Structure 1
Amino acid sequence: MSAIDVVSCMLTALFTAAAVRALRAAPVSRSLGRRSRVDHLLHTAMALAMAVMPWNCGPRLPVLP
């Protein structure tokens, strides 16, 4: 596994954790209103989209110069 793959795995794990946190916070924010729930759900969607980005970035840089 190359260094680029390791960084991609780390970024995927980081953004997946952020998505899970935002998704878990959505029902808790029920007392704050609908706007807060929508905000948490949008953050979840954004974090999931960013978790996929390292694997779908098109042509990669060469490992050796």
Structure 2
Amino acid sequence: IHYIFAPKKDIKDISDFSEDDREYLIDLFAVMSTVIKQESLQDYKLWSNGPGKQDVTYLHFHLGAK
């Protein structure tokens, strides 16, 4: 399984976070948590690549599981 979570907010990478993004990012992590629970994932990895390691030019997260 490989999910990609792409926020609809223009955040380029983790270093672009501001205090105004706090609630938005908390909601994003709540969505990821819901998917993990709904899929009953036990052995998973959640990650985000930095700007030099990604082709997509905005912040997004990967959720991978076996």
Same fold (TM over 0.5): no
Identify the structure with the greater helix proportion.
Answer: 1
Identify the structure with the greater strand proportion.
Answer: 2
> Which structure is richer in relative contact order (CA contacts within 8 A, separation 6 or more)?
2
Q: TM (normalized to structure 2)?
A: 0.34
Structure exhibiting the larger radius of gyration computed from Cα positions: 1
